[in-house]
């Protein structure tokens, strides 16, 4: 139950990738027949990914080595083209890949302004409007939070950005393939897309770039990907990402309803059976596969290790999983104390999960929490 960390390659995706390892091995830039065959596969994948997010044209999709590179290209690419505008606005719960890019840009003279979120993780739209200025070069707000699952008011953010004439970058790593995304209707200028978060291969991602948005490339060379990402394209992985995008689009509605049912059963079962347990994130405006809890008096790492011993893989917003002494920035941004944040557990569902899996967790988690609280010096005596 850690589909937020990664997803397995769908067997149908693997099948789509196989010809491009040895049978169709040409360089897409070559003019001969083998090159043209590879170029056709590249074009097909571009169309498949464009279709998933309703991009105006396949050329708006730029393939990268993953979501992190796509985000770097979006933010640094805009920043490098900005002459007098030296401010970037981000939400208080952005992924570390966005945060660290912005920390880098601070050293280059940019001002990074953080827009707050409410207790559910929803961006404060009025605060966003107030933070905008003539110096704002970019707004970067994620589509949905990778930890607590809250889906942001993207259409409203896109409208605010468009009215202000400021490019809007949206990190859709956690959301793309799980919920419908329409870059045209939602007025998104730059969109980060991850392959391995929608059952495609690792090491591949894409950046949607709206027509008219000018970026400075990070990698210079032969001019592939419209000059924005030079280097021979990773055709097997790109073909896999294209197949994964097409499958996600075709199955999203049905799979979304199934996962929502499992998620809601999981949330109710945990909250009803464990005293002093709480749901993090918005109760309704959340990813269909995300259930993020916090439990008083114990730490997330101990819950994860205990679940792992009975065959359940999970994640946490606690410090131990990030290898630092600090709790999740996302959880403190929504108002949780350090102690509350450390007691968090993230369960994310995927294609292989069943109702039996959910019942297994609901049946076993209360005993784990009770045992850990009995050992905790923080728990009231009644807990022991």
pLDDT tens column, 235-253: 999 999 999 999 999 999 9
- How high is the pLDDT of residue 325? 60
pLDDT > 90? residue 152: yes
Length of the chain: 384
- How high is the pLDDT of residue 318? 39
256 and 228 in a single domain? The answer is no
Q: How confident is the model at residue 319 (pLDDT cuts 50, 70, 90)?
A: very low
Determine the distance from the C-alpha atom of residue 220 to the mean position of all C-alpha atoms in its chain, rounded to a whole number.
27
How confident is the model over 50-91, as pLDDT tens digits?
A: 999 999 999 999 999 999 999 999 999 999 999 899 999 999
Q: Whose structure tokens read 């909250």? A: 271
107 and 236 in a single domain? The answer is yes
Q: How confident is the model at residue 147 (pLDDT cuts 50, 70, 90)?
A: very high
Catalytic amino acids?
A: 320
What CATH number is given to the structural domain containing 262?
3.90.1150.10
What residues have CB less than 8 Å from 251, skipping those under 6 apart? none
Measured at the CA of 232, the angle between CA 247 and CA 16, to 5 degrees, comes to 25
Is 2 domain-assigned? no
Q: Please give the average per-residue pLDDT across 113-136, as a whole number.
A: 98
- How high is the pLDDT of residue 83? 86
Is 3 domain-assigned? no
For 288, the domain range is: 252-383
- How high is the pLDDT of residue 320? 36
Q: How confident is the model at residue 5 (pLDDT cuts 50, 70, 90)?
A: confident
- How high is the pLDDT of residue 322? 52
User: For the purposes of burial, counting CB atoms within 10 Å of the CB of 324, is it exposed (0-12), middle (13-18) or buried (19 or more)?
Assistant: exposed
Is 1 domain-assigned? no
How confident is the model over 25-52, as pLDDT tens digits?
A: 999 999 999 999 999 999 999 999 999 9
Nearest Cα residue to 93 out of 127, 53, 143: 143
For the chain, the domain total comes to 2
How confident is the model over 289-317, as pLDDT tens digits?
A: 999 999 999 989 999 999 999 999 999 85
212 and 305 in a single domain? The answer is no
Is 113 domain-assigned? yes
Q: Which of 248, 276, 305 is the last residue of a domain?
A: 248
pLDDT > 60? residue 380: yes
Is 5 domain-assigned? no
Q: Which of 225, 248, 271 is the last residue of a domain?
A: 248
pLDDT > 70? residue 205: yes
114 and 187 in a single domain? The answer is yes
User: For the purposes of burial, counting CB atoms within 10 Å of the CB of 139, is it exposed (0-12), middle (13-18) or buried (19 or more)?
Assistant: buried
pLDDT > 70? residue 110: yes
What CATH number is given to the structural domain containing 131?
3.40.640.10
194 and 341 in a single domain? The answer is no
What residues have CB less than 8 Å from 197, skipping those under 6 apart? 6, 7, 67, 173, 174, 176, 177
Q: Which of 248, 279, 313 is the last residue of a domain?
A: 248
């Amino acid at each position: 139950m850690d589909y937020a960390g990664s997803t397995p390659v769908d067997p149908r995706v693997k099948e789509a990738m196989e010809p491009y390892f040895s049978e169709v091995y040409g360089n897409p830039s070559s003019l001969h027949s083998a090159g043209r065959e590879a170029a056709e596969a590249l074009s097909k994948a571009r169309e498949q990914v464009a279709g998933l997010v309703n991009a105006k044209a396949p050329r708006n999709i730029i393939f990268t080595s993953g979501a992190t590179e796509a985000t770097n290209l979006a933010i640094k690419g805009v920043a490098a083209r900005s002459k007098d505008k030296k401010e970037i606005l981000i939400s208080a719960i952005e992924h570390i890949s966005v945060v660290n890019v912005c920390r880098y840009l601070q050293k280059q003279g940019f001002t990074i302004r953080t827009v707050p979120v409410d207790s559910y993780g929803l961006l404060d739209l009025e605060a966003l409007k107030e933070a905008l200025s003539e110096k704002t070069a970019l707004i970067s707000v994620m589509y949905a939070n990778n930890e607590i699952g809250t889906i942001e008011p993207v259409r409203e953010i896109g409208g605010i950005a468009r009215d202000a004439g400021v490019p809007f970058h949206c990190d859709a790593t956690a959301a793309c393939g799980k919920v419908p995304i329409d870059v045209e209707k939602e007025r998104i200028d730059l969109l980060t897309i991850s392959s391995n978060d929608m059952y495609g291969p690792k090491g591949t991602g894409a950046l949607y770039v709206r027509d008219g948005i000018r970026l400075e490339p990070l990698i210079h060379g032969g001019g592939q990907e419209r000059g924005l990402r030079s280097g021979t394209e990773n055709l097997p992985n790109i073909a896999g990402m294209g197949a994964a995008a097409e499958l996600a689009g075709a199955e999203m509605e049905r799979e979304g309803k199934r996962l929502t049912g499992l998620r809601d059963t999981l949330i109710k079962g945990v909250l009803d059976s464990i005293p002093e347990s709480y749901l993090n994130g918005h109760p309704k405006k959340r990813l269909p596969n995300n259930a993020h809890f916090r439990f008083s008096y114990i730490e997330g790492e101990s819950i994860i290790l205990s679940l792992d011993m009975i065959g359940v893989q999970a994640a946490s917003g606690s410090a131990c999983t990030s290898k630092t002494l600090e709790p999740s920035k996302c959880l403190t941004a929504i108002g949780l104390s350090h102690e509350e944040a450390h007691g968090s557990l993230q369960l994310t569902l995927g294609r292989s999960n069943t109702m039996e899996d959910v019942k297994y967790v609901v049946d076993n988690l209360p005993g784990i929490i009770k045992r850990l609280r009995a050992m905790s010096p923080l728990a009231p005596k009644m807990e022991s």
